[in-house]
Structure 1
Amino acid sequence: MTIMTNRLSRSTHPELTLHPERMIQFGEGNFMRAFVDWQLQQMNNQGLFNGSAVLVQPIEQGLGGFMAAQDNLYTVLLNGIMDNQTVNSREIISSVSRVINPYTDYESYLALAEKDELEFITSNTTEAGIAYLPGDRADGTPPKSFPGKLTALLHRRFELGKKGFVIIPCELIDRNGEKLQEIVQQYAADWNLGGEFLQWLKEENTFCCSLVDRIVPGYPRDKAAELEAELGYLDNVMVTAEPFLFWVIEGPESLAERLPLAKAGLNVVVTPDMTPYRERKVHLLNGPHTAMVPLGLLAGLETVEDVMNDETFSRFVKQLIEDELIPMLDLPAEELLSYAGAVQERFRNPFIRHELTSISLNSISKFKTRLLPVLLRYQQERGKLPERITLAFAALLLSYRGDRVPLQDSPEILEIFTQAWSDPASFAGTILSNTSLWGQDLSLLTGLEAEINVHLQQLEQQDSRAALQQLVG
């Protein structure tokens, strides 16, 4: 195999246009680069947007250095089946202008407020990112939380007497735009930024709720050398994704003209009410992902495709969707079954390697958003617990012991589990009663603590596949 020495850069691809910065994007990770920035590229290719995104690292350690080494160019590889056609495309994305690390260059971050051309803000800081952090400080350089950083930027924009932004968060939490706006307003009050700023926030900025849908496995580590030989250049931040894409933005009708995604042929809906779209996607695509991850990892499986090619696990996923998730959603059953069938086909995509460990990031907040509402409604309406969700919940809690599955969560969450696991006999009661994790005391839910203890013992004595076999038949 040929070893590549030429790194992707603007000198190797001088034909690529660098457009003016029109969007600020919090998050430089795989998903946003294969979702939002890829869509900007499609609009630019058609002369419909002629803009780029300046990316902001939400945490100190990020990909900014890797991006800069490639002049902020990277490759998106789409692999899968769409409309009964095999898709296998490679495209260099040039819609990113630069990456700012506010932890090392806070002034450059705040200077974004000076640019009149910037009119959109997007974000994906994981489900845990849109959160109020008591004690976050206005004089932090930067403030610790994403909403805190955003508040500081918006206040600088206000002080300069400039127009506001259209703000479209992509984090997978319910009513993400509204929650982000609430936290920004809370920080404005905490920091005594004044009534005029609060009025400007309300009148000059549009916070949109949104829903994103594209499976993005990320960097193709196992095939990187082969792909670089095919491409003819080195690319340390190439990203693989499925061809399917769907973005629902709850906002004013005029947004479809200002951000002409649908006009570019992209599967994007601007709507006054995104609720039906969100419930379908979060519970029928993200929910099964969150359920399969701890069970699959405990059984030694590595990818979503591994799960779907395993008879026991694929039966579990099908039963989870049809018996526990769909009955709890207020949408026509025929529509839900059709969507669920398409989701399971996407899970089986043989062209992308979607690793379970990549989905496991911040699994606690994901469970709270994606599966806990279904569990609670099921118990309320049927007087019993959903067996498959409850087993997946127990597997998730066991995985946070840290001895069998790699842990990927915030230090605060990991510390809670470390303390709870220090007394295994009382673990279930301690962790279920922690309202900071679940938003309520789950130990009060009839039968849940007992069922979790039964499943924890079961998963200790046998692997998760054996536990599933008893459940799914």
Structure 2
Amino acid sequence: MTKKLTQKEFPETKNDLPVKVVQFGEGNFMRAFVDWQIQQMNKQQLFNGTVAVVQPINQGLGEMLRAQDNRYTVLLEGLIDGELVETSEIINVLDTVINPYQAYAEYLALAENKDLEFVVSNTTEAGIQFNPNDRLEDAPQQSYPGKLTAFLYQRYQAKLPGLTIIPCELIDRNGDKLKEIVLRYIELWELPHAFKEWIENDNTFCCSLVDRIVPGYPRDTAKEWAEKLGYEDQLMVKAEPFMLWVIEGPQSLTESLPLTKAGLNVIVTDDMTPYRERKVHLLNGPHTAMVPLALLAGLSTVDEVMNDDDFRPFIDDLFAKELIPMLNLPKSELDEYADQIKERFLNPFAHHELSAISLNSVSKFKARLLPILTRYIQTNNHVPAYLATSLAALILSYRGDQVTPADDQDIVSFFQTAWQTPATVVVSVLSNTHLWGENLTVLPGLSETVQLKLDALETNGARQVVQDLKGEK
């Protein structure tokens, strides 16, 4: 009979360290990202603290975690410096899991823990929202910021020090937005001005950027892993070896949260903007650029693109010629980051479907590639060939006869209407301010270049167009 992952079966995983972190969210990402990092610090006796997890919604993983004495396994699978990595580690930093919908008094009592130093969260992008119906007397409040405000008010009333709050939600300026909503609740609930001052002066809200691909529970290989590990784990979570955490905050964080001392890829900076641009444009951007062209050529996954003799040079040149030159960070740092990304794209365990990445391609192109395209034209006085080709392929893919576009119905309908007049489709698309937030036909040469690329795609096919790009600047 296979063993269960419990402290009884694995007594060496016992952990008596004090709770220093409150974590809102118990999903795959936080367990494979933040909690995994805390374990790395603890193994080196650098942090010596554990985590109290708060379920942000009533339905969560609390019961499953308690059944395993709050233990679970992180599996790291992927490439690092060309070497295949495949490791497993039992994570034991979770001290308790609290469901505030069932144990609100226990949740508030946690605020009076004198050892607490940090709050971290990942409540999805929709989690950092203001709910005007939340009240202080609710048990609990519905929104995460509402719960956090009540928690901090309890701590303030106990006359305890403030906390460092680091949200991991994937929204821009997440720390600033969370603080802004907390202050709105203070006003809505008519809480004391002194509490507002305590929030402002005694607590630190940090913006952060997280980066690690976490596929989650390995359903296809769970039985094989159970045999290999010698125990059952209903909460094992698979992640890539690469990780990056950029935290915008005081340098004192490097001492109180010694992630870098533990050898982790963490950057504490006073301005995370360049790093956010780097991730959006160098990690997310190439994904968006490759998708329409690769789908039109009959490819289906990111690793297929990276292992293709025609498409790999396209990705290499896109990085080197058009993306990296437009970013405001040292070139050596950007080159190193680009190499890491290409290695991640080659991950043989990921099998990242292009069709999944293609969802909402227009809005993704607008956020991830349009700023680079615009900057390139303004800087170099000519149109970037690779980005223009990708844009032309996007327009062709939304015609719907070779690729099924996955987007809002109004956007799909617009393209269907625009394609009824093929001669003007490029101008119709580029001039649509609803799509792009601006009229792209005013960019010198863009309409003409995209039209040429579109004609070539229709005449010669995506693969030939990508081959022909090799000689272009």
What TM bracket, shorter-length normalisation?
Answer: 0.7 to 0.9
Cα 1:184–1:466 change in 2 (3 A) is: farther
CA contact (8 A) 1:316 1:468 kept: no
Cα 1:367–1:130 change in 2 (3 A) is: farther
CA contact (8 A) 1:429 1:443 kept: no
Q: Write out aligned runs for 1:180-195 (5 A).
A: 180-195=178-193
What fraction of aligned residue pairs are identical, expressed as a percent?
53
Aligned residues: 456
Confirm whether residue 234 of structure 1 aligns to residue 232 of structure 2. Answer: yes
Cα 1:351–1:470 change in 2 (3 A) is: closer
CA contact (8 A) 2:26 2:60 kept: yes
Determine the C-alpha separation between the residues in 2 that align with 1:263 and 1:391.
Answer: 44
From 252, 255, 269, the counterpart of 1:254: 252
Q: Write out aligned runs for 1:29-68 (5 A).
A: 29-59=27-57, 61-68=59-66
Q: Deviations over 1:115-171 (max 9, x none)?
A: 222210112344x34654464533565545433433333233333332221112233
Corresponding residue of 1:411: none
SS in 2 for 1:230: helix
Letter in 1 for 2:183: Q
Confirm whether residue 285 of structure 1 aligns to residue 283 of structure 2. Answer: yes
Cα 1:40–1:212 change in 2 (3 A) is: same
Q: Write out aligned runs for 1:416-427 (5 A).
A: 417-418=408-409, 421=412, 424-425=416-417
Cα 1:85–1:175 change in 2 (3 A) is: same
Determine the C-alpha separation between the residues in 2 that align with 1:471 and 1:274.
Answer: 38
Corresponding residue of 1:264: 262
TM-score where L is the length of structure 1:
0.77
Point out the more displaced range, 241-250 or 159-168.
241-250
CA contact (8 A) 1:123 1:168 kept: yes
Shift of 1:206: 0.8
SS in 1 for 2:4: coil
Determine the C-alpha separation between the residues in 2 that align with 1:203 and 1:374.
Answer: 38
Shift of 1:22: 1.4
Letter in 1 for 2:417: A
Determine the C-alpha separation between the residues in 1 that align with 2:362 and 2:152.
Answer: 30
Corresponding residue of 2:21: 23
SS in 2 for 1:118: coil
Shift of 1:330: 1.6
SS in 1 for 2:372: helix
Shift of 1:40: 0.8
Cα 1:152–1:386 change in 2 (3 A) is: farther
TM-score where L is the length of structure 2:
0.77
Cα 1:39–1:181 change in 2 (3 A) is: same
Determine the C-alpha separation between the residues in 2 that align with 1:60 and 1:465.
Answer: 48
Confirm whether residue 344 of structure 1 aligns to residue 347 of structure 2. Answer: no
Letter in 2 for 1:15: E
Confirm whether residue 14 of structure 1 aligns to residue 41 of structure 2. Answer: no
Cα 1:433–1:302 change in 2 (3 A) is: same
Determine the C-alpha separation between the residues in 2 that align with 1:73 and 1:95.
Answer: 8
Corresponding residue of 2:437: 441
Confirm whether residue 137 of structure 1 aligns to residue 134 of structure 2. Answer: yes
Q: Deviations over 1:388-435 (max 9, x none)?
A: 557767859988x9xx8797xxxxxx8xx345556653898799655x
SS in 1 for 2:261: helix
Determine the C-alpha separation between the residues in 2 that align with 1:431 and 1:112.
Answer: 55
Confirm whether residue 153 of structure 1 aligns to residue 161 of structure 2. Answer: no
Letter in 1 for 2:347: N
- Give unpaired runs (5+ residues) of structure 2: 420-427
Q: Deviations over 1:358-400 (max 9, x none)?
A: 767998886665445434434554577756557767859988x
Point out the more displaced range, 223-232 or 377-386.
377-386
Letter in 1 for 2:52: V
Letter in 2 for 1:88: E
Q: Deviations over 1:154-189 (max 9, x none)?
A: 233333332221112233444332333233323433
Q: Deviations over 1:175-228 (max 9, x none)?
A: 332333233323433443342222111111111233333333333232222111
Corresponding residue of 2:424: none
CA contact (8 A) 1:210 1:250 kept: yes
Cα 1:364–1:429 change in 2 (3 A) is: closer
How well do the aligned residues superpose, as a CA RMSD in angstroms? 4.4
Q: Write out aligned runs for 1:69-80 (5 A).
A: 69-80=67-78
Q: Deviations over 1:212-258 (max 9, x none)?
A: 33333333232222111101122222222233333332322322221
Determine the C-alpha separation between the residues in 2 that align with 1:59 and 1:340.
Answer: 37
Cα 1:15–1:216 change in 2 (3 A) is: same
Determine the C-alpha separation between the residues in 2 that align with 1:218 and 1:370.
Answer: 25
CA contact (8 A) 1:217 1:358 kept: no
Confirm whether residue 93 of structure 1 aligns to residue 91 of structure 2. Answer: yes
CA contact (8 A) 1:429 1:449 kept: no
Structure of larger gyration radius: 2
Letter in 1 for 2:135: A
Cα 1:60–1:86 change in 2 (3 A) is: same
- Give unpaired runs (5+ residues) of structure 1: 408-413
CA contact (8 A) 2:431 2:441 kept: no
Confirm whether residue 213 of structure 1 aligns to residue 218 of structure 2. Answer: no
Cα 1:230–1:250 change in 2 (3 A) is: same
Letter in 2 for 1:23: V
